[in-house]
Amino acid sequence: MTAPLLEVTDLRTWFATARGEIKAVDGVSFTINPGEVLGLVGESGSGKSITGFSIIGLIDEPGRIVEGSIKLEGRELTGLSASELRQIRGKTVSMVFQDPMMTLNPVLSIETQIRLALEAHEKIGADEARRRAIAALAQVRIPDPEIKVDYYPHQFSGGMRQRVAIAIALLHRPKLIICDEPTTALDVSVQAEILSEMKELVAELGTALIWISHDLAVVASLADRVAVMRYGQIVETGAALDVLTHPRHDYTKGLLDALPSRAKPGEMLARGADADAVPPPREAATHEVPPLGSPYLVIEDAVKIYQKPAGLIQSLAVRAGWAAPEPIVRAVDGVSLTLHRGEVLGLVGESGSGKSTLGRMAAGIYAPTAGTVRLNGKAVMSGGRSPVKITTRVQTIFQDPFASLNGRMRIGDIIAEGPIAHRLITRRDAPDYVGRWLAAVGLDPALSNRFPHQFSGGQRQRIAIARALAMQPDVVVCDEPVASLDVSIQAQIINLLIKLRRELDLSLIFISHDLSVVRHLCDRVAIMYRGRIVEEGGAAEIYDNPQHDYTKRLLEAVPVLPEAAE
Amino acid sequence: MRETTPLSRFLSEFSSNRTAAIAAVVVLLIVAIAILAPLVAPQDPYDLANLVLRDARRPPGYVGTQGYVHWLGTDSQGRDLLSAIIYGLRISLEMGVIAGGIAFLIGAFVGTSAAYVGGRFESLIMRIIDLQLSFPAILLAFVIAAMLGQGRYQLIMALIFAQYAYFARTAHGAASAERQKDYVEAALSVPLSHTRVVLKHILPNSLPPLIVVGTVQVASAISLEATLSFLGVGLPPTEPSLGMLIANGFQYLLSGRYWISIYPGIALILFIVSLNLVGDQIRDQLNPRLRR
């Protein structure tokens, strides 16, 4: 039995605010042995990141470690001076953050950044630093490290940037690395690569790792042990396989049950099965709507090209051959897609695949450069030089409920604005109408005079859903509506969408990068890659028997939870 | 637990900067005095019956023939300088607020619509504004004031023309950023009309930077007006603003009668510096990058 590398006992990190102390971390104890991988799992606000920051001594004012001890190789870390902590930070313990775009300095080359990190703890010459930088990049599998070492962060993709951040964290052969959601901002396939590389590196170097994540499946694929956090406390800890297959604590069970990958497709998810009120009856004309199952929203050969418009002087320069024309980006490159009435069509792809652009064309927010988008045979947008959306029967739900609600309007006005403008209701009926919609999405109608910032992310997404549905649409384009939400909130929103879709006979285009959510919710799936649809078909068919190489790669990259051996 | 509204939080943060708090008090005091001028001023400087030529150019503290003390002395026509400054502030403030306010509205409209419409319209409008910003405001105002002649409306026009470009530039920047945000796309996907999207969604969210520019621009409108009046192309002599008071005393400066120019100058500086301090503090508070 070796001595533990890190021993955290009864750690309490509190933040003093005007509204009293916020107990972000409230009595956390755990140990890590050398070379062990600990997964620290929890939803947002559970204190998992603050635990990580406390260990490495990066707690900002007004936060402070109130009590408890953090022992690294027997040495107490709490109460050390800033300079003593600097000796340890980066050398014995290092950290990898969520967003590599924010942690790498955009105006310094990779070589310089690695040299600075080296110089922080040892005396080193320029040639030696360069050699070490190249070796460090090679270690994290960056191709052509001799060339890439002179690059700047913006010349790398997100995955490559995160590899650089990991390379910097590994420079001094630390005994412990703390990774705070390092793959959350990355695509599934990139995440899969980084996960497998990280596994190899940790085994190779014998480094202990704390992997902080909200994603149980990611943790399952990497960690030896798992600690589940909630409200600043660890509710359950144990061997990874044990915790994930035989959870003992109710919270862990709930978290696992909320995952769409563990439920039967189309069923309500276990969490948040709240009885919501029935939505108000539709008043818009429904008689011209075709029967369920017939083609409804038809996209034909849609193309969307982005090109920065050239100014007068620039276009002259281009004509004279002095300047290169602005590059053309074909975000959507000839897509035909049919949404049948009443079905849920999943649109899956990684970032930059054009799925959001396609969704916005379907919703009439962007006009296609070429091709048509028709709803029930009628164009969604008017033609001409400045096209405007002319139908109200397609509505949209956006990804980020913090950005998609106007912060200067009361939520009642946000919901009523569209229906009043389009005379679905009168101003006098608005309060009643808004109240019924709020009830239908599971919010208290009395809250209608509040502002969006007074609500949580999940509540805001409910408001956004009410706003879209209050327009009484037939088709709703959902652009990653659950991507920025916690697992249990995600389950509630998915349940709400399933319920409302059944009650209102809605047809949905569901855009997502999360394959398990799509599988759960969608009847048909279209896979997008580089502006084109590479594969399309029934959800079960595609998931069980993918044809296209890209689809196969995508499905393999999804981290899976170990199944309980019943 | 005390209920904190955004306004009360704003005020408590504002008053934590002592300089800005004092400046705010000075601004409020000056505005109050200017508005209440007829009640506060010892003498009505417009009433020619009050003017006694024998009292002209007397130093501060002189007891006039009418029996009261001229604390700041008198000017070349025997006017009580304190009263003249109070009334002058009133005129300067009026000019600054009216011109600044109208420039605000025009600039906000032009800048926001340029950002919203985009394309050639945006380039055209913004290039015109760039062109205008490349001339010193004082030169523009001078040319316009000289072309339109003397008078308060002409002066207001000149001030507006010299100032709206700053508001338009700011509004354009703020609105271009707001234009990209999801809530605008959400409004377009309803669909709401362009007018509604601009007025109800983009404009209210572009306001904070405009308010900051507004406070600074009111100060600069006042100093611009004073400059123009000093140079003789501003307000007619019947409406003596601070700039004209300074100009009137200018010729006596070298003969030792400093007070006729200096005291209106001090009033002007005090007001403009305070306004700028208030504006700076609001800017810092609304700028999340400077937040601690």
Is B182–A403 a contact, with Cβ atoms under 8 angstroms apart?
Answer: yes
Calculate how close chain A gets to B23, using CA atoms only, in Å. Answer: 27
Asked whether residue B1 is domain-assigned, the answer is no
For residue B60, pLDDT over 80 is answered with: no
Q: Which of B190, B195, B210 to mutate to test the interface with A (most CBs of A within 10 A)?
A: B190
Q: Give the pLDDT of residue A197.
A: 87
Q: Does the CB of B68 have a partner CB in chain A at under 8 Å?
A: no
Supply the pLDDT for residue A287.
Answer: 59
Measured CA distances, B86 to A121, B41, B92 (Å) = 66, 7, 10
Which residues of chain A make contact with B194, given a CB cutoff of 8 A? 388
The pLDDT confidence band at residue B1, using thresholds 50, 70 and 90, is very low
Query: Does A422 lie at the interface with B, CB-CB under 8 angstroms?
Result: yes
Residues in chain B closer than 8 A to A405 (CB atoms): 183, 186
Other C-beta atoms closer than 10 Å to the C-beta of A519 total 23
> Where is pLDDT greater, at B288 or A45?
A45
Interface touch B1/A395, C-beta < 8 Å:
no
CA of B6 vs chain A CAs: smallest distance (Å): 11
Predicted pLDDT of residue A323 = 75
Q: Identify the CATH assignment for A1-91+209-257 out of 3.40.50.300, 3.10.290.10, 3.30.310.50, 3.40.50.620.
A: 3.40.50.300
User: Is B74 inside a domain boundary?
Assistant: yes
Report the C-alpha gap between A471 and A479 in whole angstroms. Answer: 17
Which residues of chain A does B123 touch, with a Cβ-Cβ cutoff of 8 Å?
Answer: 311
CB contact under 8 A, B189 and A365: yes
List residues bridging with A348 in a β-sheet: A512, A527
Task: Please tell me which of the candidates A311, A360, A422 has its beta carbon nearest to residue B123.
Answer: A311
Domain count, chain B: 1
pLDDT of A23 > 80? The answer is yes
pLDDT (0 to 100) of residue A563: 67
The beta-carbon contacts of A198-205 under 8 Å, at least 24 apart in sequence, are A198/A166, A198/A222, A201/A139, A201/A140, A201/A166, A201/A170, A202/A35, A202/A37, A205/A170, A205/A173
Query: What are B69-118's pLDDT values in tens digits?
Result: 777 777 777 778 888 888 888 888 888 899 999 999 999 999 999 999 88
DSSP secondary structure, B229-245, as one string: HHHTSSS-TTS--HHHH
User: Pick from A458, A434, A429, A457: which is nearest to A445 by CA?
Assistant: A434
CB proximity under 8 Å: A 435-474 to B = 464, 467, 471
Q: Please, are residues A21 and A15 in contact by the beta-carbon 8 Å criterion?
A: yes
Average pLDDT, chain B: 83
Residue A564, pLDDT above cutoff 60? no
- Yes or no, beta carbons of B186 and A396 under 8 Å apart: yes
Q: CA B185 from chain center: how many Å?
A: 36
A134-170 pLDDT, tens digit each: 999 988 888 889 988 999 988 888 888 888 999 999 8
Q: What type of residue sits at position A561?
A: L
- A365 contacts in chain B (CB < 8 Å): 185, 188-189
Sign for the CA dihedral angle at B224, B228, B230, B236 comes to negative
Say if A325 is an interface residue toward chain B (CB within 8 Å). no
DSSP-derived 3-state class of residue A387? coil
Reduce the DSSP state of residue A272 to 3 states and report it. Answer: coil
Rounded-to-integer distance, Cα A444 and Cα A441, Å: 9
Q: Which of B1, B187, B201 sits opposite A19 (nearest CB)?
A: B1
- The verdict on B127 touching A (C-beta cutoff 8 Å) is no
pLDDT tens digits along A96-144? 988 777 788 889 999 999 999 999 888 888 899 999 999 999 888 888 8
* Residue A270 scores a pLDDT above 70: no
Q: Which domain holds residue B28?
A: 6-290
Average pLDDT over residues A357-378: 90
**For residue A63, pLDDT beyond 90:** no
Chain B interface includes A370 (CB < 8 A) = no
Q: Which token pair is A425?
A: 């209701």
Asked whether the predicted pLDDT for residue A272 surpasses 70, the reply is no
Q: Do B123 and A399 touch (CB under 8 A)?
A: no
The answer to whether A85 touches A136, Cβ cutoff 8 Å, is: no
- Residue A235's SS3 state is strand
Give A320→chain B minimum CA distance, Å: 22
A404 to chain B: closest CA residue? B183
B286 touches chain A (CB under 8 A): no
CATH number of the domain within which B186 lies: 1.10.3720.10
pLDDT tens-place string over residues B168-194: 999 999 999 998 888 999 999 888 999
Chain B residues 166-225 with CB within 8 Å of chain A: 181-183, 185-194, 196, 200-201, 204-205
- Asked if B50 is an interface residue toward chain A (Cβ–Cβ < 8 A), one would say no
Q: Is B7 on the interface with A (CB under 8 A)?
A: no
* Nearest-Cα residue of chain A relative to residue B120: A311
Q: How far is B153 from B99, CA to CA, in rounded Å?
A: 10
Beta bridge partners of A372: A300
Residue A365: closest CA among chain B residues belongs to which residue?
B189
ipTM of the complex, rounded to two decimals: 0.79
First-residue to last-residue Cα distance in chain A: 33
Chain A residue with minimum CA distance to B117:
A386
Beta bridge partners of A274: none
Nearest CA-CA distance, residue A177 and chain B, Å: 29
CATH 3.40.50.300 for domain A339-366+380-557: yes
Residue A264 has pLDDT above 80, yes or no: no
In a domain, B174, yes or no: yes
Intervals of CATH 3.40.50.300 along chain A: 1-91+209-257, 339-366+380-557
Question: Which chain A residues are Cβ-neighbours of B200 within 8 angstroms?
Answer: 406, 409, 417
Residue A481 to residue A484: CA distance in whole angstroms: 8
The string of pLDDT tens digits covering residues A481-540 is 888 788 888 888 888 888 888 888 889 999 998 888 898 889 999 999 988 999 999 988
What pLDDT sits at residue B226? Answer: 84
Q: Do A409 and B200 touch (CB under 8 A)?
A: yes
pLDDT > 90 fraction of chain A, expressed in percent and rounded: 30
The pTM for the full model equals 0.81
Q: Residue B189 and residue A421: Cβ atoms within 8 Å?
A: no
